[in-house]
Amino acid sequence: MAKIFCVANQKGGVGKTTTTVNLAAGLAKVGQRVLMVDLDPQGNATMGSGVDKRTLTHTVYDVLLESASVAQARVTSQKLIDGGCSYDVLGANRELAGAEVELVDVERRERRLREAINAVDTEYDFVLIDCPPSLSMLTLNGLCCAHGVIVPMQCEYFALEGLTDLVNTIKQVHANLNRDLELIGLLRVMFDPRITLQQQVSDQLKSHFGNKVFDTVIPRNVRLAEAPSYGLPGVVFDPSSKGAQAFVTFAQEMVDRLHQGLAA
Ligand code: ADP
Ligand code: MG
């Protein structure tokens, strides 16, 4: 059975999509079978995985509205296969923005994704879900099917404030909807060790959250920012870059944590 993780943070631009696609590619690189689910109507994780969101016949939208199964809607990009880090993509595009409203009146609306993924979860080791920058019905669908939440964050002054809302949401979902859900860890991203404030916030995070802070730190690295314009994760675009190497190390840390049962 696959381990299912949401990459979530209600702030925009904190590195969720970069984390999702590069962790997916990193996990593929260390031999894991991965399904990446794009739950953001912006479709950046889809495009960043070499899949053109405009040409998709079915997306996660159809899956949420039960007009397609995951098996029907998932795709694999030739670019990822050629890059040797292949994972399946359940894509998204603008259409997904409508799901928020269309799901309001339906039954089991927060469990749609969970039920759909259940049907394929023996085919994967990991399912990674890229969440939109909100605590919406879409994010709730992600949280209801996940075992854990990975929170990418920049070590900035207001980082801890936003975290409180997310941690409370995770607690509520755990109590009411999904007993399996837990905060797996905080991932420090876009990190620049030369900035004293970032070091200080990083130290604060570790003293507050202990082993919930991943050991791996993702540096600020321009190759990671350039990769999406080539429709590739940084891990595939420039495997020797510092950013790509950090994500492969992070992928290995996730696999190791699972084996140690910390995230099980
Ligand atoms: P989110 O999905 O949370 O909105 P993104 O992953 O799209 O955030 O990242 C926001 C911006 O920061 C993007 O332009 C991305 O390329 C850039 N970025 C993310 N991580 C890094 C990094 N480690 N180094 C440099 N740029 C990064
Ligand atoms: Mg994003």
Model confidence over 103-161: pLDDT tens digits?
A: 988 888 999 999 999 999 999 999 999 999 988 999 999 999 999 999 999 999 887 88
The pLDDT of 11-28, averaged and rounded, is 97
Contact 4, 142 (CB under 8 A): no
pLDDT at position 207 is 92
Using a 6 Å cutoff on CB, does residue 166 contact ligand 1? no
For 138-194, the DSSP string reads: HHHHHHHH-SEEEEEE---TTHHHHHHHHHHHHHHHHHHT-TT-EEEEEEEEEE-TT
Q: How do residues 212-261 score in pLDDT, each as one tens digit?
A: 999 999 999 999 999 999 999 999 999 999 999 999 999 999 999 998 87
pLDDT in tens, 161-181: 888 889 999 999 999 999 999
Residue nearest to atom 15 of ligand 1 (CA): 225
Output the pLDDT for position 263: 46
Cβ-based neighbours of 228, under 8 Å, separated by 6 or more: 17, 18, 21, 44, 47, 48
Residue 173: what pLDDT? Answer: 96
- Looking at residue 264, what is its pLDDT? 41
For 121, other C-beta atoms within 10 Å of its C-beta total: 18
Nearest CA, atom 5, ligand 1:
15
As a whole number of angstroms, the distance between CA 15 and CA 55 comes to 25
Q: Which CATH class is domain 3-260?
A: alpha beta
Residue 190 CA, closest ligand 1 atom number? 23
Determine the average pLDDT of the residues in 21-46: 98
- The Å distance, Cα 135 to ligand 2 centre, comes to 13
**Average pLDDT of the residues in 44-54:** 98
Whether 44 is in the pocket of ligand 1, judged by its Cβ within 6 Å, is: yes
Q: What is the mean pLDDT of the chain?
A: 95
Q: How far apart are CA 35 and CA 245, in angstroms?
A: 21
| Dist. CA 97–CA 104, nearest whole Å | 13
Q: What are the respective helix, strand and coil percentages of the chain, to the nearest 5?
A: 50, 15, 35
Query: Ligand 2 center to residue 9 CA distance, Å?
Result: 10
Q: Which runs of E-coded beta strand occur in 213-258?
A: 213-219
Task: Enumerate the β-bridge partners of residue 3.
Answer: 126
- Percent of the chain having pLDDT more than 70? 99
Residue with tokens 């910390």, as numbered in its chain: 262
Q: In the Cβ-directed half-sphere of 42, how many Cα atoms lie within 13 Å?
A: 13
- What pLDDT is stored for residue 262 in this prediction? 57
